[in-house]
Structures are given as C-alpha cells and as structure tokens.
Structure 1
Amino acid sequence: MIGDHTPVTTLGVSDLQRARDFYEGTLGFAPGTEMMDQGITYQSGSGAFFVYTSEFAGTNKATAMMFEVPGDAFDAEIATLRAKGVTFDTFEAEGTEWNDGVASMGEGEAVFRSVWFADPDGNILNLGSGMN
C-alpha cells in the first residue's frame, strides 16, 4: 500500500548549482545521490528531498516543504538561519501573531512557532517548532 512508503519531497529549480550553494552552503545539507547532473538528493532526519532542474521552477506559491524541530531547538535553528542571511516571510493569517518574522499560533501550552523562507527559485520552505 502506498501509505507504507516514505515520501520524498521534490523541489524544482532553474539552476542546480545555485540550488546546491543554497541547500549545502546556506542550509548545511550534505549532498547525497546525484542524478546525471539533473538533480541531487539530500537526507533530512528519517526522510529525504530531491532538488532537480525543471522549467517550472518557482511556480508554486504554497509551502513546498516543512521541517519540524523540537520546540527547545527552534530558537537555535532560527539564529543559525539568520546568521546565514536567510530572511523570513510574513503574511496575513487569522490567529497568528508575528514577532521579528516568527509566527506564533495557539494558546498556553499548545503554542506552535514557525517561519517561512524561500530558496533562490522561490520554493517556500517552512521550519516549525513542536508544541511547547
């Protein structure tokens, strides 16, 4: 059954080297399997994502990939991204409070924090905290 298999997120990019510079240099992923100079796989936690050249790169306007980190590691991850020059996007969303590009949703013990940012082709990536 399809639900028994781990999905692999795929992100279309227009320039594979520029994407590699971002995913490896800025975000710190180690390169994995390369596919005939057309794409590369990166491991992330127990999953993976595939970055490949596509004529449709940057056309998705929704979140393409999310990374969930434990709540106690969230601030350190955000600081690392900022130090690498990553800027966070904000938008209108009911029930969301923004503080310096970081969204907070929920109340009391059930607060979820999150940031959104884009790769060089405009693929929207999200980093979210566990509930804390």
Structure 2
Amino acid sequence: MFNNKDAIAMIAVRDMQVAAKFYETVLGLQKESTIDKEVITYRSGNTRINVYQSQYAGTNKATTLIWNVGDDIDAIARMLKNKGIAFEHYDLPGLTLENDLYVGDGMKVAWFKDPDGNILSIVSG
C-alpha cells in the first residue's frame, strides 16, 4: 500500500522562529512553504520535513530524523560542529567513538539535537 508513496517527517517545535533559524541557517534547508505560521515545510532531497508548533516538542527520547549523507559524513560533521552543534555521546557497545562519529560495521553515525531537544542524526550507510 505505501511501498511507492513518499513519507513526510513531522518535527514538533515550541518556537517557530527559533526552529526556522536552526533548520534554515544551521542545517541549510530551504523553506518550501508555510501554513498559518504553524507549519513550515522543507524539502530535503526527495523528502519533505514539516516543522510544526506543538506543546509536546522535544518529548521524544529517540531519533526523530536521519539523513543518509554517505561519504560526506566527516565533512558534514565538521561543518555542523563549526556552526555550534554539540554532538550527543551515548554508550553504544560494538561502536567506537572517533571524534563525534560512532564507527562500526562499515558505517559512521552521529546524533545531535535541535533547539527543542529533538534528536537528529547523520549516517554514512
């Protein structure tokens, strides 16, 4: 039923202006549309990301969104760090922490948070 349908990520935020600055300035996403100052839609590759205002922003304790950035992961991690991103460090058996990237089984991965505490990730695989 959904195997050939696009999915849209939904990310809850408290303050739309703060979120817009982060997603546009720090992550470099371009705004596609705005609905009643309550929802901003961004395009990322062939997917859409809807950032919307919610009182429940940041309550998810798991990864909200992952970008598969392939071999660009080291460069992207450096760019994010240069923009003030603090990467999350977890206890992950089987993975080795190298700088801010976890490495193992032929992949690299890193996690960071948006201003509301939503967990975002980049992965190379």
TM-score under structure 2 length normalisation: 0.96
Q: Residue 122 of structure 1: CA displacement?
A: 0.5
Q: Residue 3 of structure 1: CA displacement?
A: 2.6
Q: Residue 74 of structure 1: CA displacement?
A: 1.4
Runs of at least 5 residues in structure 1 that lack an aligned partner in the other structure: none
| Overall identity of the aligned pairs, in % | 35
Structure 2: distance between partners of 1:128 and 1:68: 5
Q: Residue 4 of structure 1: CA displacement?
A: 2.3
Give the number of equivalent residue pairs: 125
Paired letter, 2:86: T
TM-score under structure 1 length normalisation: 0.91
Alignment of 1:1-132 (within 5 A): 1-71=1-71, 73-106=72-105, 111-130=106-125
Runs of at least 5 residues in structure 2 that lack an aligned partner in the other structure: none
Structure 1: distance between partners of 2:89 and 2:104: 13
Q: Deviating runs (4+, > 6 A) in structure 1? A: none
Q: Residue 78 of structure 1: CA displacement?
A: 1.1
Give the CA RMSD over aligned residues: 0.9
Structure 2: distance between partners of 1:124 and 1:60: 8
Secondary structure of 1:2 counterpart:
coil
Paired letter, 2:94: G
